[in-house]
Amino acid sequence: MSENWNQYFSRIRLGRWTDNNAVCWMPFHGFHIFVGGETGYGKSNTERVILSELSYGIDQGAVEVIGLDAQLGVELQPVQDAGYLKEFYCGDGAGIKSDEWPEGKPYEATFAEALEQHLEQGMDRTKHMRRRGINEWKITKTDPGRVILLDEAGQLFRPNVDPKIKKRLITAVDTFTYQMRKCGYVFVACTQQPNLKDIPIRHGFTFGIAHHQGTPLGYQQVTKLQLDFPPLPLGVQGLAYITSGGKRVARSQYMPTVLPKLRGARQVNESRIPAIAAS
Protein backbone atom coordinates (compact mmCIF):
# COMPACT_ATOMS: atom_id res chain seq x y z
CA MET A 1 0.00 0.00 0.00
CA SER A 2 1.43 3.36 -0.89
CA GLU A 3 1.54 5.79 1.99
CA ASN A 4 0.06 9.24 2.06
CA TRP A 5 3.19 11.21 2.89
CA ASN A 6 1.43 14.56 2.70
CA GLN A 7 -0.82 13.41 5.48
CA TYR A 8 2.16 12.03 7.36
CA PHE A 9 3.94 15.38 7.03
CA SER A 10 0.90 17.42 8.03
CA ARG A 11 1.37 17.36 11.78
CA ILE A 12 3.36 15.84 14.61
CA ARG A 13 2.86 15.10 18.28
CA LEU A 14 4.64 17.81 20.23
CA GLY A 15 3.66 16.56 23.68
CA ARG A 16 0.60 16.85 25.90
CA TRP A 17 -1.58 19.72 27.03
CA THR A 18 -1.09 20.41 30.71
CA ASP A 19 -4.79 21.06 31.41
CA ASN A 20 -6.40 17.90 30.04
CA ASN A 21 -3.42 15.69 29.24
CA ALA A 22 -4.59 15.22 25.65
CA VAL A 23 -2.00 14.86 22.91
CA CYS A 24 -0.85 18.27 21.69
CA TRP A 25 -0.54 18.16 17.91
CA MET A 26 1.60 20.66 16.10
CA PRO A 27 0.70 21.51 12.50
CA PHE A 28 3.64 20.91 10.21
CA HIS A 29 3.43 21.04 6.41
CA GLY A 30 2.13 24.45 5.38
CA PHE A 31 3.63 26.17 8.42
CA HIS A 32 7.02 27.57 9.35
CA ILE A 33 7.90 27.20 12.96
CA PHE A 34 9.66 29.59 15.29
CA VAL A 35 10.89 28.14 18.58
CA GLY A 36 11.87 30.72 21.17
CA GLY A 37 13.00 30.40 24.74
CA GLU A 38 15.70 31.21 27.21
CA THR A 39 18.70 28.98 27.42
CA GLY A 40 18.03 25.57 28.95
CA TYR A 41 14.24 25.59 28.64
CA GLY A 42 13.85 23.07 25.86
CA LYS A 43 14.37 24.51 22.37
CA SER A 44 16.77 21.81 21.26
CA ASN A 45 14.58 19.20 22.95
CA THR A 46 11.71 20.45 20.78
CA GLU A 47 13.89 20.04 17.68
CA ARG A 48 14.59 16.47 18.68
CA VAL A 49 10.86 15.87 19.20
CA ILE A 50 10.34 16.99 15.60
CA LEU A 51 13.13 14.73 14.33
CA SER A 52 11.95 11.79 16.36
CA GLU A 53 8.36 12.22 15.22
CA LEU A 54 9.56 12.35 11.62
CA SER A 55 12.01 9.48 12.01
CA TYR A 56 9.90 6.97 10.10
CA GLY A 57 9.59 9.34 7.13
CA ILE A 58 13.30 10.21 7.29
CA ASP A 59 14.20 6.55 7.41
CA GLN A 60 11.94 5.81 4.45
CA GLY A 61 13.45 8.67 2.44
CA ALA A 62 10.16 10.59 2.26
CA VAL A 63 11.42 13.38 4.52
CA GLU A 64 14.81 15.08 4.33
CA VAL A 65 16.19 17.32 7.03
CA ILE A 66 18.77 19.99 6.28
CA GLY A 67 20.37 20.99 9.60
CA LEU A 68 22.08 24.31 10.17
CA ASP A 69 23.66 24.89 13.55
CA ALA A 70 24.94 28.40 14.16
CA GLN A 71 26.43 27.31 17.48
CA LEU A 72 29.39 25.65 15.70
CA GLY A 73 27.53 22.35 15.46
CA VAL A 74 27.26 21.83 19.20
CA GLU A 75 23.51 21.28 19.16
CA LEU A 76 22.91 19.21 16.05
CA GLN A 77 26.07 17.09 15.85
CA PRO A 78 24.48 14.22 17.83
CA VAL A 79 21.49 14.01 15.49
CA GLN A 80 23.83 14.21 12.51
CA ASP A 81 25.78 11.29 13.97
CA ALA A 82 22.57 9.34 14.48
CA GLY A 83 21.68 9.73 10.79
CA TYR A 84 18.77 12.19 10.94
CA LEU A 85 20.20 14.88 8.70
CA LYS A 86 20.57 14.76 4.95
CA GLU A 87 22.94 17.71 5.07
CA PHE A 88 24.59 19.43 7.99
CA TYR A 89 26.01 22.95 8.05
CA CYS A 90 27.91 24.26 11.05
CA GLY A 91 30.31 26.78 9.58
CA ASP A 92 32.60 24.58 7.49
CA GLY A 93 34.49 26.70 5.00
CA ALA A 94 34.67 29.72 7.29
CA GLY A 95 37.99 31.54 7.13
CA ILE A 96 38.92 30.29 3.66
CA LYS A 97 40.33 33.10 1.51
CA SER A 98 39.02 33.70 -1.99
CA ASP A 99 38.52 36.54 -4.46
CA GLU A 100 35.12 37.18 -2.94
CA TRP A 101 36.49 36.99 0.60
CA PRO A 102 40.14 38.13 0.58
CA GLU A 103 40.12 38.25 4.39
CA GLY A 104 38.57 34.79 4.65
CA LYS A 105 34.93 33.79 4.38
CA PRO A 106 32.97 34.93 7.43
CA TYR A 107 31.32 32.22 9.50
CA GLU A 108 27.83 33.65 8.94
CA ALA A 109 28.35 33.71 5.16
CA THR A 110 28.60 29.91 5.11
CA PHE A 111 25.01 29.81 6.41
CA ALA A 112 23.83 32.40 3.91
CA GLU A 113 25.32 30.31 1.09
CA ALA A 114 23.73 27.11 2.34
CA LEU A 115 20.32 28.72 2.63
CA GLU A 116 20.60 30.33 -0.80
CA GLN A 117 21.53 27.02 -2.37
CA HIS A 118 18.49 25.34 -0.83
CA LEU A 119 16.29 28.25 -1.75
CA GLU A 120 17.25 27.68 -5.39
CA GLN A 121 16.08 24.07 -5.11
CA GLY A 122 12.86 25.27 -3.53
CA MET A 123 12.35 27.74 -6.38
CA ASP A 124 12.71 24.88 -8.84
CA ARG A 125 9.92 23.09 -7.03
CA THR A 126 7.67 26.12 -7.21
CA LYS A 127 8.32 26.50 -10.94
CA HIS A 128 7.60 22.83 -11.46
CA MET A 129 4.30 23.20 -9.63
CA ARG A 130 3.30 26.34 -11.48
CA ARG A 131 4.01 24.76 -14.86
CA ARG A 132 1.77 21.85 -13.99
CA GLY A 133 -0.90 23.84 -12.23
CA ILE A 134 -0.37 21.94 -8.99
CA ASN A 135 -1.14 23.82 -5.81
CA GLU A 136 0.25 21.40 -3.29
CA TRP A 137 3.47 19.45 -3.55
CA LYS A 138 2.88 15.71 -3.56
CA ILE A 139 5.43 14.25 -1.19
CA THR A 140 6.88 10.95 -2.37
CA LYS A 141 10.18 9.18 -1.82
CA THR A 142 11.36 10.72 -5.12
CA ASP A 143 10.09 14.19 -4.19
CA PRO A 144 10.49 14.21 -0.43
CA GLY A 145 9.22 16.66 2.12
CA ARG A 146 12.01 18.87 3.44
CA VAL A 147 12.72 20.43 6.79
CA ILE A 148 15.19 23.29 7.03
CA LEU A 149 16.22 23.25 10.67
CA LEU A 150 18.16 26.28 11.89
CA ASP A 151 19.34 26.14 15.49
CA GLU A 152 20.67 29.16 17.40
CA ALA A 153 19.55 31.46 14.60
CA GLY A 154 20.24 34.50 16.80
CA GLN A 155 23.98 33.86 16.48
CA LEU A 156 23.77 34.94 12.85
CA PHE A 157 22.38 38.36 13.78
CA ARG A 158 24.78 39.56 16.43
CA PRO A 159 25.57 43.27 16.21
CA ASN A 160 29.05 42.80 14.75
CA VAL A 161 27.96 40.63 11.82
CA ASP A 162 28.45 42.32 8.44
CA PRO A 163 25.10 43.93 7.46
CA LYS A 164 25.52 42.65 3.89
CA ILE A 165 25.59 39.07 5.16
CA LYS A 166 22.66 39.70 7.48
CA LYS A 167 20.72 41.01 4.52
CA ARG A 168 21.45 37.84 2.53
CA LEU A 169 20.33 35.71 5.46
CA ILE A 170 17.13 37.69 5.94
CA THR A 171 16.31 37.56 2.23
CA ALA A 172 16.88 33.81 2.05
CA VAL A 173 14.79 33.05 5.14
CA ASP A 174 12.04 35.49 4.13
CA THR A 175 11.77 33.97 0.69
CA PHE A 176 11.57 30.50 2.21
CA THR A 177 8.94 31.45 4.72
CA TYR A 178 6.82 33.49 2.34
CA GLN A 179 7.03 31.33 -0.77
CA MET A 180 7.71 27.71 0.13
CA ARG A 181 4.69 26.87 2.23
CA LYS A 182 3.02 24.61 -0.30
CA CYS A 183 5.95 22.88 -1.90
CA GLY A 184 7.03 20.44 0.72
CA TYR A 185 9.23 22.70 2.84
CA VAL A 186 8.92 23.44 6.53
CA PHE A 187 11.36 25.95 8.00
CA VAL A 188 12.09 25.54 11.72
CA ALA A 189 14.15 28.23 13.44
CA CYS A 190 15.21 28.19 17.08
CA THR A 191 16.68 31.01 19.07
CA GLN A 192 17.12 32.50 22.51
CA GLN A 193 16.47 36.01 21.22
CA PRO A 194 12.76 36.72 21.14
CA ASN A 195 12.80 40.13 19.51
CA LEU A 196 12.25 40.94 15.90
CA LYS A 197 14.94 43.55 16.32
CA ASP A 198 17.52 40.97 17.44
CA ILE A 199 16.39 38.33 15.03
CA PRO A 200 14.88 40.00 11.99
CA ILE A 201 13.84 36.77 10.30
CA ARG A 202 10.92 36.30 12.67
CA HIS A 203 8.09 37.88 10.75
CA GLY A 204 7.74 35.15 8.13
CA PHE A 205 7.01 32.38 10.62
CA THR A 206 3.46 31.20 10.97
CA PHE A 207 3.61 29.06 14.06
CA GLY A 208 5.33 29.81 17.35
CA ILE A 209 6.44 27.74 20.31
CA ALA A 210 7.44 29.78 23.34
CA HIS A 211 9.41 28.19 26.15
CA HIS A 212 10.28 30.24 29.23
CA GLN A 213 11.10 33.84 28.34
CA GLY A 214 12.02 36.44 30.92
CA THR A 215 9.84 38.94 29.15
CA PRO A 216 6.36 38.39 27.72
CA LEU A 217 6.76 37.18 24.18
CA GLY A 218 4.44 38.84 21.71
CA TYR A 219 3.78 36.20 19.13
CA GLN A 220 1.81 38.67 17.09
CA GLN A 221 5.23 39.40 15.65
CA VAL A 222 5.21 35.89 14.26
CA THR A 223 1.61 35.15 13.55
CA LYS A 224 -0.23 38.48 13.56
CA LEU A 225 -2.67 36.73 15.85
CA GLN A 226 -2.23 39.19 18.71
CA LEU A 227 -1.35 36.46 21.14
CA ASP A 228 0.84 37.75 23.89
CA PHE A 229 2.28 35.02 26.04
CA PRO A 230 3.23 35.80 29.62
CA PRO A 231 6.43 34.18 30.92
CA LEU A 232 6.16 30.52 31.92
CA PRO A 233 7.32 29.51 35.41
CA LEU A 234 11.02 29.76 36.02
CA GLY A 235 12.93 26.52 36.35
CA VAL A 236 10.42 24.29 34.56
CA GLN A 237 11.85 22.81 31.38
CA GLY A 238 9.77 21.53 28.50
CA LEU A 239 6.71 23.71 29.10
CA ALA A 240 5.63 25.82 26.16
CA TYR A 241 2.90 28.03 24.82
CA ILE A 242 2.05 27.26 21.24
CA THR A 243 0.33 29.74 18.99
CA SER A 244 -2.71 27.76 17.97
CA GLY A 245 -3.47 26.85 21.55
CA GLY A 246 -4.18 30.35 22.85
CA LYS A 247 -2.94 30.59 26.41
CA ARG A 248 -2.93 26.86 27.02
CA VAL A 249 0.38 25.32 27.94
CA ALA A 250 1.79 22.10 26.56
CA ARG A 251 4.58 19.95 27.93
CA SER A 252 6.80 18.70 25.16
CA GLN A 253 7.85 15.08 24.98
CA TYR A 254 11.23 14.55 26.59
CA MET A 255 13.93 13.49 24.13
CA PRO A 256 17.38 12.37 25.17
CA THR A 257 20.31 14.24 23.59
CA VAL A 258 21.33 11.07 21.81
CA LEU A 259 18.47 9.81 19.68
CA PRO A 260 18.37 6.18 18.56
CA LYS A 261 20.35 5.64 15.37
CA LEU A 262 18.12 5.67 12.32
CA ARG A 263 17.90 2.24 10.82
CA GLY A 264 14.55 0.76 10.05
CA ALA A 265 12.70 3.34 12.13
CA ARG A 266 9.21 2.25 13.07
CA GLN A 267 6.13 4.29 12.36
CA VAL A 268 5.16 5.80 15.70
CA ASN A 269 1.68 4.31 15.84
CA GLU A 270 -1.37 3.92 13.69
CA SER A 271 -3.14 6.84 15.35
CA ARG A 272 -0.32 9.24 14.47
CA ILE A 273 -2.80 11.01 12.23
CA PRO A 274 -6.13 10.56 13.97
CA ALA A 275 -9.25 10.22 11.89
CA ILE A 276 -10.67 13.61 10.90
CA ALA A 277 -13.86 12.78 12.79
CA ALA A 278 -11.91 12.30 15.99
CA SER A 279 -9.91 15.52 15.78
Ligand X SMILES: Nc1ncnc2c1ncn2[C@@H]1O[C@H](COP(=O)(O)OP(=O)(O)OP(=O)(O)O)[C@@H](O)[C@H]1O
Residues binding ligand X (CB under 6 A): 37, 39-45, 75, 192, 237-238, 251-252, 254
Residue number with CB closer to ligand X (119 or 217) = 217
* C-alpha distances in Å from residue 227, one per residue of 155, 174, 247: 26, 22, 8
Handedness of CA 175, 226, 153, 200 (dihedral sign): positive
Nearer to ligand X, 36 or 145 (CB): 36
Question: Which residue from 44, 46, 191, 221 is in contact with Mg ion, where contact means CB under 5 A?
Answer: 44
Helix-helix angle 163-179:107-132, to 10 degrees: 30
**In the complex, which residue's CB is closest to Mg ion?**
44
What is the maximum alpha-carbon separation in the chain?
61
In whole angstroms, how close is the CB of 252 to ligand X at the nearest point?
A: 4
Closest approach, Cβ 37 to Mg ion, in A, equals 9
Nearer to ligand X, 122 or 252 (CB): 252
Question: By beta-carbon distance, which residue lies closest to ligand X?
Answer: 238
CB of 71 to Mg ion, least distance (A): 7
User: 41 or 107: whose CB is closer to Mg ion?
Assistant: 41
In angstroms, the first-to-last Cα distance of the chain is: 24
> Shortest approach of ligand X to residue 20 CB, angstroms?
18
Going by the DSSP 8-state scheme, the letter that residue 14 receives in this structure is: E
Stretch that binds Mg ion, among 69-77, 103-111, 233-241, 249-257 (CB under 5 A): 69-77
Distance, CA of 192 to CA of 198 (rounded, Å):
10
> Sheet holding 23-27: strands in order across?
23-27, 11-17, 249-252, 239-242, 207-210, 33-36, 185-191, 145-151, 63-69, 87-89
The length of the chain in residues reads 279
171 binds, among Mg ion, ligand X, none (CB under 5 to 8 A by kind): none
Q: How far is the CB of 35 from ligand X (least distance, A)?
A: 8
Nearest to 68 by CA among 171, 197, 208, 169: 169
Return d(Cα 198, Cα 191) in angstroms, integer.
10
Residue nearer to ligand X on the CB measure, 178 or 254:
254
Say how far apart CA 155 and CA 70 lie, in whole Å: 6
37 touches, from Mg ion, ligand X, none (C-beta below 5 to 8 Å by class): ligand X
Q: Report in angstroms how near the CB of residue 271 gets to Mg ion at its nearest.
A: 30
Q: With respect to Mg ion, which residue has the nearer C-beta, 75 or 108? A: 75
| Site for Mg ion, residues 110 to 169, rule: CB under 5 A | none
| Residue ranges in contact with Mg ion by CB under 5 A | 43-44, 75
